[in-house]
A and B are shown apart, each in its own frame.
Chain A
Amino acid sequence: MMPHCAYVLRIADTSLILAQRLGEWVGHAPAIEEDLGLANVSLDLLGQARMLLSYAGELEGRGRSEDDLAYLREESEFLNATLVEQPNGDFGQTVVRQFLVDAWQLELYEQLLESKDPRLAEIAAKAVKETRYHLRYSAGWLVRLGDGTDESHARVQDALTRLWPLTGELFSTDEVDREIAQAGIGPAAEALLPGWSARVAAVFAEARLAAPVMSPFSWHGKQGRHSEHLGFVLAEMQSLHRAHPGATW
């Protein structure tokens, strides 16, 4: 697959899988406001994923639509970051995962505004505004839980310790990233680290959370090598379309 298409798919799949995970909360969130909040963030991410998947299909040039790419690819063909396929856990763990991804997406979309690919810059200009609201939501909850009771603090600190090793992948530059950066299409993965680190550190301080040390181990979801969780996400997400090909609402 050409690097340009793989790069767009990585961003698209990360949004799509996170949207699917957040959708699992509908009807189960701790309060009606959070049910609505998580569903609304999920919808935005799904909308962003659709624009990106359609574009990836065009770049690929094999006539595949957004639906073909979302519903008919196998696990190893998904290029999302491993972090977003992790189970929701409790509300605190979902907030931690969301915060880490929101801060990364914000940095990514801000840098993509300067992309030499006008289509990607357009999508980023739309997405960046929505992502700021996502970050306000997740950062607000992280501070409330981290700086809340002993119980809420312990739960989000545990979630942070568990999820932190998965963030390394977001900033590890591989061959695709290098070609993309050289062509001026997007930032190299590592170029997002300084902005992201500063943003998350400021919120951790307010939330009284300790950032774990970055682990040298890295996942490779963006190269199609996933944790055991993605298969289950896809089984649910794709089952209807595979049973009833081309089904529409």
Chain B
Amino acid sequence: MVAAAAPIGAEPPPALLAKLRLILAGVPDPEIPVLSVLDLGVVRHLRERADGTIEVGVSPTYSGCPATPVIKADIVQALTHDGFRAVTVDVLSPPWTSDWISEEGRRKLVEFGIAPPAQAVTSPRQLLQPDLAIACPRCNSTDTKKQSEFGSTPCKSLYRCESCLEPFDYFKCI
């Protein structure tokens, strides 16, 4: 699972980089398909190796997340489809954080009915602090209640809004 040290590659020229980013913006996260892999912040680097192969550094969100191998395969497939030779390498350090979800990604999450992470993870220790009030993605009420630490995936908790009575997922800070 953990790849050996990545061969050194160079940052692609701006035009190529823009093209690659455009392709990756069209690769959805398999579990939250409104987010692209760029919105999710799992793409850590793009490099062009000496032989022209495009190397994409990917950080797993959670260690056991079953979406990670699918994400890597989808990235390679999308780039191959557009005529590139592509490989992914695992980037473990620094570990992925919910802070890397883009502003665009946070907006898309709300539209999709998932409350985005409530705060920046300046220190992981704060994960053991009491929860902040989470706003309902449908009616924006903060009168919400946690139902379970884990939702449909490890990255989310299950909440219920006490105002509109709808259940919703909350993307946890990590």
State how many residues of chain A have any CB contact under 8 Å with chain B: 34
In the assembled complex, B7 has its CB within 8 A of some CB on chain A: no
Take A41-B150, A43-B62, A55-B2 as given contacts and tell me if A133 and B92 are in contact as well, using a CB distance cutoff of 8 Å: no
Residues of B within 8 A of A54 (CB): 1-2
- CB-based contact B153/A122 at 8 Å: no
Take A33-B148, A123-B92, A133-B127 as given contacts and tell me if A44 and B62 are in contact as well, using a CB distance cutoff of 8 Å: yes
- CB-based contact A37/B63 at 8 Å: no
Residues of B within 8 A of A36 (CB): 148, 150-152, 158
- A-B pair count, CB < 8 Å, reads 90
**Which A82-130 residues have C-beta < 8 A from chain B?**
119, 122-123, 125-130
Bound state CA distance, A28 and B166, in angstroms? Answer: 26
Residues of A within 8 A of B64 (CB): 19, 42-48, 50
Bound state CA distance, A45 and B65, in angstroms? Answer: 10
**Which B57-111 residues have C-beta < 8 A from chain A?**
60, 62-66, 92-97
Take A136-B127, A136-B128 as given contacts and tell me if A40 and B154 are in contact as well, using a CB distance cutoff of 8 Å: yes
In which size bucket is the chain B interface?
20 to 34
- CB-based contact B154/A132 at 8 Å: no
Residue picked from A45, A119, A133, most chain B C-beta under 10 Å? A133
- CB-based contact B94/A125 at 8 Å: yes
Q: What are the interface flags for A17-60 relative to B under an 8 Å C-beta threshold, 1 for contact and 0 otherwise?
A: 00100000000000001101100111111111011001100000
